[in-house]
């Protein structure tokens, strides 16, 4: 557990990690927003919580899009709230509270990316894998639990957005973002995913409108190359009977070790990737061979359904040779087309399952 950090203002401390039991609706019923803001500036923690709570989930998602990591996004969300608490006295209201919070969050994330570059992470080794189709550069990416996306429909992207919420939370989009330089990444998220105007994005980034427009142009060219051609528009609707059927057929085939069944569900050009590992497998036969190899080495998989990035996902478990249980091994996320699976993203980090409310072990 990371130690909690407190901010000091007006002789009082505020711990943004702990949600106060305060309803925004209750506070706004009898008071105008500016009254609540005044109380927050005076050091009222409950008033501050009421002000920022409506933005908490979308700010966390914003940090995740830029950083690609749920844990890092949580850290920067707390840093954002701490910075907002400390700076609230200087908030003049020239921009909306939402835009002000996004400015803080964006710059906190950019600082975190600079720190990450100074301390490169080491990719854990994996041995005994089948020959991959290709070796890619390490991609530091984690899945995002759908439970944290709840309520975001109420904060639809602005008119400048080029992507709807469903597409901009998808794993392919977030993975493409991680290929961009930090400021291009931030500009694209602010303008094309969230719909802030170019002038607003420029102010948040302390940049000129011309430089933001240039960054957007370069970022779009990169993202368009890496994203499937609007493939998710043809995918079954999230939670639909067709999505459940297709994902369920895959899970059943995998648990049974049914190689032919797996192959029949994959597109001919499907990819299996394993961030941050560089190994990538393309094609139904190559993917089936990888999955069969894993089963041969570790035993049959057991799957527990969940959802990540608006897509069907499964926590996967492998038998413990010393006990009659199956232990959590990682999480896989499926990307669907209309009638088949076009990508499997395999996350071999067992600690991720806790974010999805999945158990560490299953009884045999």
Could you tell me the CATH number of the domain that includes residue 26? 1.10.1740.10
Query: Is 164 among the domain residues?
Result: yes
Residues 196 and 237 in one domain: no
Q: Which tokens go with 172?
A: 């392919």
- 301-355 pLDDT, tens per residue? 999 999 999 999 999 999 999 999 999 999 999 999 999 999 999 999 999 999 9
Residues 199 and 319 in one domain: no
pTM of the model: 0.89
What's the DSSP call for residue 196? -
Residues 165 and 240 in one domain: no
Q: Assess contact for 40 and 49: CB atoms under 8 A.
A: no
Instruction: List helix spans (H) across 165-208.
Output: 165-168, 171-177, 182-188, 198-204
Residues 327 and 359 in one domain: yes
CATH code, domain with 250: 3.10.450.50
Q: Which residue has the tokens 């305060």?
A: 22
List the beta strands (DSSP E) in 170-310: 266-273, 279-282, 302-308
Q: Structural domain tally of the chain?
A: 2
Last residue of a domain, one of 180, 205, 226: 226
188-216 burial string, b = 16+ CB within 10 Å, else e? bbbbbbbbbbbebbbbbbebeeeebeebb
Q: Which tokens go with 95?
A: 């921009």
Residues 270 and 292 in one domain: yes
- 68-113 pLDDT, tens per residue? 999 999 999 999 999 999 999 888 778 899 999 999 999 999 999 9
Cα 34 versus chain centre, distance:
33
Query: Is 11 among the domain residues?
Result: no
Residue 65's domain comprises 18-120+135-226
* Helix axes 97-118 and 70-87, enclosed angle (nearest 10): 130
Residues 241 and 217 in one domain: no
Instruction: Identify the helix (H) or strand (E) that includes residue 331.
Output: strand 325-336
Residues 241 and 161 in one domain: no
Residues 58 and 151 in one domain: yes
Q: Which residue has the tokens 């639809």?
A: 156
Last residue of a domain, one of 181, 204, 226: 226
When pLDDT is cut at 50, 70 and 90, the band that residue 122 belongs to is: confident
């Amino acid at each position: 557990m990371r130690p909690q950090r407190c901010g000091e203002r007006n002789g009082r401390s505020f711990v943004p990690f702990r949600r106060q039991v305060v309803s925004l609706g209750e506070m706004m019923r009898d008071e105008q927003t500016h009254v609540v803001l005044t109380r927050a500036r005076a050091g009222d923690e409950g008033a501050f919580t009421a002000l920022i709570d409506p933005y908490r989930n979308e700010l966390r998602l914003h940090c995740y899009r830029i950083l690609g990591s749920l844990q890092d996004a949580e850290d920067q969300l707390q840093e954002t709230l701490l910075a907002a608490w400390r700076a609230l006295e200087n908030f003049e209201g020239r921009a909306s509270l939402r835009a002000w919070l996004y400015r803080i969050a964006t710059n906190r994330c950019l600082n975190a990316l600079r720190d990450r570059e100074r301390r490169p992470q080491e990719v854990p080794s994996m041995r005994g894998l089948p020959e991959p189709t290709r070796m890619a550069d390490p991609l530091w990416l984690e899945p995002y639990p759908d439970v944290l996306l709840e309520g975001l429909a109420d904060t639809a992207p602005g008119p400048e957005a080029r992507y709807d919420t469903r597409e901009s939370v998808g794993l392919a989009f977030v993975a493409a973002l991680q290929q961009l330089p930090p400021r291009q990444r931030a500009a694209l998220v602010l303008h094309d995913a969230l719909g802030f105007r170019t002038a607003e994005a420029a102010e948040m980034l302390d940049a000129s409108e011309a430089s933001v427009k240039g960054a957007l142009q370069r970022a779009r060219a990169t993202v368009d190359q890496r994203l499937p051609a609007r493939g998710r528009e043809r995918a079954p609707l999230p939670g639909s009977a067709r999505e459940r059927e297709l994902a369920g057929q895959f899970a059943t085939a995998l648990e049974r070790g049914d190689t032919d069944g797996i192959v029949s569900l994959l597109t001919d050009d499907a990819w299996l990737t394993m961030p941050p590992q560089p190994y990538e497998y393309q094609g139904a036969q190559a993917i089936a061979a990888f999955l069969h190899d894993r089963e041969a080495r570790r035993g049959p998989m057991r799957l527990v359904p969940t959802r990540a990035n608006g897509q069907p996902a499964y926590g996967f478990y492998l038998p413990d040779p010393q006990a009659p249980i199956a232990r959590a091994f990682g999480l896989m996320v499926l990307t669907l087309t209309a009638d088949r699976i076009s990508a499997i993203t395999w996350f071999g980090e067992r600690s991720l399952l806790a974010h999805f409310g999945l158990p560490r072990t299953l009884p045999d």
